[in-house]
């Protein structure tokens, strides 16, 4: 690897938005590390396709809520590519919805463990490992501005992620590392579509003035901007990339 090689870790990169982010950053010239939790076949296929296109790519399994495994993810990245320039934390879950009154604490704990603890662990390790001038990009959700019923655990986890973004940006003062979040609205990925009827999908598709669900490629350009030279002065911000779903 040359001294000028830029390396990006993308969590949750075996499909959906994470997979699209990894592909875009590879096209932008980054060596990409695709993190996955369970779908090794998808991750390995994505890596093979990127390498066939002349890109540098590596798949690494890690549960983002496990601090030890997160550490190994970063260790493998440094060993393979020499450093970490960008981290895009896409990994998360959107489980079957329940109302707060049901007091389903097992589900609440599961969501908080992956979405919030996982974000905390990845952002903390990013701060420890990242080279000067790096970029940390978390994923939130524009849903938290709608406060839909039955999304309590998910909304709480994402609101806390946004708070972490602002805190970490201040803690990294003087290191030229930016910390931002991207907050999509509804995106037509398996994660979002799972468990929804066609009527629900049609209704959600109409909420944005553009009257459709986003596609992963609608989101990745914003990540590319934040990770690239033109995003250097954007820091401690949440970019709501949602087609006008909320503002």
Mind telling me the catalytic residues?
154
Nearest Cα to Cα of residue 216 among 173, 177, 170, 185: 185
Cβ(156)–Cβ(112) below 8 Å: yes
Cross-strand bridge partners of residue 32: 8, 57
Those residues with Cβ within 8 angstroms of residue 209's Cβ, 6 or more apart along the chain or in another chain: 243, 244
Among candidate residues 155, 218, 228, 199, the one with its CA nearest the CA of residue 16: 218
Cα dist from 111 to 106, 116, 146, whole Å:
9, 8, 19
């Amino acid at each position: 690897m040359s001294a000028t090689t830029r390396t990006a870790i993308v969590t949750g990169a075996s499909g959906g938005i994470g997979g699209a982010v990894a592909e875009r950053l590879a096209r932008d010239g980054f060596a990409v590390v695709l993190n996955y939790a369970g779908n090794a076949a998808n991750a390995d296929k994505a890596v093979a396709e990127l390498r066939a296109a002349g890109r540098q790519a590596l798949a690494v399994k890690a549960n983002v809520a496990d601090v030890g495994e997160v550490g190994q993810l970063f260790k493998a990245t440094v060993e393979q590519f020499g450093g970490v320039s960008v981290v895009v934390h896409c990994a998360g879950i959107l489980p079957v919805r329940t109302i707060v009154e049901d007091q389903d604490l097992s589900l609440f704990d599961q969501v908080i463990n992956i979405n919030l603890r996982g974000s905390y662990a990845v952002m903390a390790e990013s701060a420890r490992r990242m080279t000067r001038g790096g970029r940390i990009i978390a994923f939130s959700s524009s849903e938290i501005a709608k406060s839909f019923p039955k999304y309590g655990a998910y909304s709480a986890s994402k609101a806390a992620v946004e708070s972490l973004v602002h805190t970490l940006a201040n803690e990294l003062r003087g290191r030229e590392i930016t910390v931002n979040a991207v907050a999509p609205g509804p995106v037509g990925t398996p994660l979002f579509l799972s468990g929804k009827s066609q009527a629900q999908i049609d209704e959600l598709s109409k909420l944005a003035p553009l009257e459709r669900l986003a596609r992963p490629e609608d989101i990745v350009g914003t990540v590319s901007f934040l990770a690239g030279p033109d995003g250097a002065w954007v820091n401690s911000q949440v970019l709501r990339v949602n087609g006008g779903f909320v503002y």
